[in-house]
């Protein structure tokens, strides 16, 4: 057996004496700082919910159920070919996406996988429709 394999290293625990008196574990110093953070007032989330284990390659029934849920949520949403964009308060948006998961599980999907992109702004209020209009206006200038 080589000397390298037989060598044991004794690691010293990380203690305040190593880093000085001001050292404190991050969990102690940061917990109060982060516990007062609130979620952004508004957001948009583009999500694609994928039921897994249904025995079918079609997801149309599950998508229709999610669209009914979104309609009843009162949130602004837009379905497109690869998912749905939903807008509202951070808490409302994430609640309805969680409800969509629960709903699809109720339809018989043992597993639900979701990919999503979320955006927030603090400098101005901007909807998904505003973003699309801005690009279309720029394209109209090309003509």
CATH at residue 61:
3.30.70.930
For residue range 35-59, list pLDDT tens digits in order: 888 999 999 999 999 999 999 999 9
Q: Please report whether residue 40 resides in a domain.
A: no
90 located within any domain: yes
Q: Is the pLDDT of residue 61 over 90?
A: yes
Rounded CA gap, 85 and 108, in Å? 24
Length in residues, the chain = 143
Asked if residue 137 belongs to a domain, the reply is no
Number of domains in the chain: 1
Whether residue 85 lies inside any domain: the answer is yes
pTM assigned to the model: 0.73
């Amino acid at each position: 057996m080589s000397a390298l394999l037989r060598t044991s290293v004794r690691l010293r625990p990380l203690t305040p004496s190593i880093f000085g008196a001001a050292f404190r574990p991050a969990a102690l110093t940061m917990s109060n700082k982060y516990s007062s953070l609130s979620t952004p007032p508004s957001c948009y989330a583009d999500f694609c919910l994928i039921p897994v284990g249904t025995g079918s390659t079609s997801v149309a029934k599950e998508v229709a159920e999610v669209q009914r849920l979104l309609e009843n949520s009162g949130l602004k949403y837009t379905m497109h070919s690869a998912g749905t964009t939903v807008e509202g308060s951070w808490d409302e948006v994430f609640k309805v996406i969680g409800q969509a998961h629960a709903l699809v599980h109720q339809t018989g999907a043992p597993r639900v996988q979701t990919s999503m992109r979320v955006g927030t702004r603090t400098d101005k209020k901007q909807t998904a429709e505003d973003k699309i209009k801005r690009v279309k206006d720029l394209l109209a200038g090309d003509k």
